[in-house]
Amino acid sequence: MPSCVMRYCSNYTSKTSKSQGITYHSFPTNELRCIRWVDIVRKQRNEEFWQPTKSSKICSIHFKVEDKYLSGKGYTLLKKSARGCGLTRKTTRCSYTTEDLQNAAKAVKDEGKSVNATAKEFSIKRMTFSRYLKKLNEGGDSSMSYATPRQVFSSTQEDSLKKYLLQMASIFYGYSPKDVRRLAYECANKFEIEIPPSWTANKMAGKEWLTMFLKRNLELSIRKPEPTSLGRATSFNAQNVKVFFEKLAEIMDRYEFTAADIWNIDEAGVSTVLKPNKIVAAKRKRNVGAMTSRERGTNVMVVTAVSALGNAVPAMFVFPRKQFKTHFLNGGPPECIGAGNASGWVTDEEFYQFMQHFIKHVKPSMERPVLLVLDNHCSHLNVKTLTLAKENGVVMLSFPPHCSHKLQPLDVSVFGPFKKYCAAA
C-alpha cells in the first residue's frame, strides 16, 4: 500500500486502505504544477532539498475540496496550511485565510463598507477583524493566524551541527546534553541569529530546543559512553588492524590451521556478590533494596580458552589469596584448576600454570601445532611461558596493544552471556 509524503500525517507511516476513503495521488507531470507541489511539501517537511521519487504520493486529506481537478494525476491545488496531522477539525476558529482578511480590509478601505457587515460577509469574527484593521492602520504585524514556532537554525546549519556532533563522538570526545546547548548558543551568536531571551540569560539553548533538535535528527540520541583510555583510542586504527590480519594470514598460509586448531584465551573478573536484577516495586520510592550475601563481593579472575570450533578448556580461577586452598574449587566445573595471589590478577606465574593446563587438554605437538590468539599483556610474554609454548607446538599471536576491546571475540561471545547468566542464576 502507498503512504503519504507529508510528515506527521496519519498516513505517513501507517498504510491506509482504500476502504477508509483515503486516495493517493502521484505528483503531476506538468512541470510548473509539480514545482508548486514540491515547494509545499518542502515547507511542510522543513527539508530544503527534498525531491519526490516515482513512488511519492500525497493522500487526499491535503487537498482543498472546492479545487478538485481530476486529471488522472490528482488534484491541482494543495492546502497551503496542510500540516499532515490527518485530524478532523472540531471548531471553526481561525478557519479563514490571510487572503480573506486582506480582501475584507480592502473592502472596508476602498468600498467604504462597515466593519460588522464585512466581517459577516467573509465569515470572520468581528473582534478579530477589528484587531486586524487596528494593527494594519498602526503599521505593525497584522498576522492573525496561528503560526508555528520559529526554528532557530536553518536545515543546513542544523545538518552541519549534527555532523560535527557525530564526528566528535566518533573520536571519543562527545558532547553532553548541556554542552550541546552551550554549543547551540555559541553558534547562534556566531551566525548572528535572533535567539530567545532565555538563551541569553542562561548562556545556552533551552531543554525544549534540544528535545526538538533530537527529534528532527534521528541519527542522534543521548547515550552513556564507555570509559576509553587515550591508549585505546589512539591504538585502534586501520594500520594496526591491517598489520594484525596480515600476520594472521601469513600464519594461516604457513600452518593451514583448521577451526579445531585455532584457540583464543581471555580472562574476566567475576564478583562473588553480583548486581541484583530489576524487580517490580512501588512507585515514587527513592531506594529499593534487594537481599545479597554481602554489601561488596570479592573479585575472582576466570581464565579460559575456546576454539573456533566451539570446544573449551576447563577454566582456571585466580583468587585474591596469598595461599590457594583446594577447597576453593568445591562445586566448581569439572577438571578446573585454581591459583591465588595477593592482588587477584593474572600474573606471569598464574598464566604459566594455565599454559600447562592448556597443553594438557589440547595436546598440541610439533607435528600438529595449534594457533593461540591472546591479548598483548605483559603476563603473556614471560620467557618461561613462551619457551613452553614453542616446545609444545603452540603458535602464539597477540592482538595489537589496547585493541582487545574491539578485536577480542570472547568478550562478546563468551564472557558477556556468562556474566548475564550468573546475574540471573
Q: The C-alpha cell of 229 is what?
A: 583510555
Same domain for 418 and 316: yes
Same domain for 249 and 398: yes
Same domain for 109 and 78: no
CATH of residue 124's domain is 1.10.10
pTM above 0.95, yes or no: no
Domain assignment present for residue 167? The answer is yes
Q: The C-alpha cell of 180 is what?
A: 550541546
CATH of residue 381's domain is 3.30.420.10
Q: Which domain holds residue 115?
A: 98-138
Please state, in angstroms and rounded to a whole number, the distance separating the CA atoms of residues 63 and 78.
5
Same domain for 390 and 271: yes
CB of 217 within 8 A of CB of 160? no
Domain assignment present for residue 358? The answer is yes
Cell 542464576 belongs to which residue?
425
Please state, in angstroms and rounded to a whole number, the distance separating the CA atoms of residues 21 and 151.
35
Same domain for 248 and 372: yes
Give the 3-state secondary structure of residue 340. Answer: strand
Same domain for 210 and 63: no
Number of domains in the chain: 4
Domain assignment present for residue 367? The answer is yes
Domain assignment present for residue 382? The answer is yes
Strand 299-307 versus strand 370-374 pairing type: unpaired
Domain assignment present for residue 225? The answer is no
Tell me, letter by letter, the H, E, C secondary structure of 243-261: HHHHHHHHHHHHHCCCHHH
Domain assignment present for residue 224? The answer is no
Same domain for 262 and 332: yes
Same domain for 366 and 244: yes
CB of 129 within 8 A of CB of 118? yes
Same domain for 105 and 70: no
Domain assignment present for residue 227? The answer is no
Torsion of CA 398, 403, 404, 409, to 10 degrees: -90
Same domain for 393 and 247: yes
Same domain for 183 and 162: yes
Domain assignment present for residue 284? The answer is no
The pLDDT profile of the chain, 425 residues, written as one tens digit per residue, is 677 888 767 665 444 444 456 778 888 877 777 877 888 888 777 777 788 887 888 887 777 544 433 333 333 445 444 433 444 556 666 667 778 888 888 888 888 888 888 888 888 888 888 888 888 887 755 555 554 556 888 888 999 999 989 888 876 678 889 999 999 999 999 888 888 889 999 999 999 899 889 988 888 888 887 776 656 555 667 777 888 888 889 999 999 999 999 999 988 888 877 777 777 877 777 777 776 667 677 888 899 999 998 899 999 999 988 888 888 888 888 999 999 888 888 888 899 999 999 999 999 999 999 999 988 777 777 778 888 998 999 998 888 777 776 778 887 778 878 877 776 66
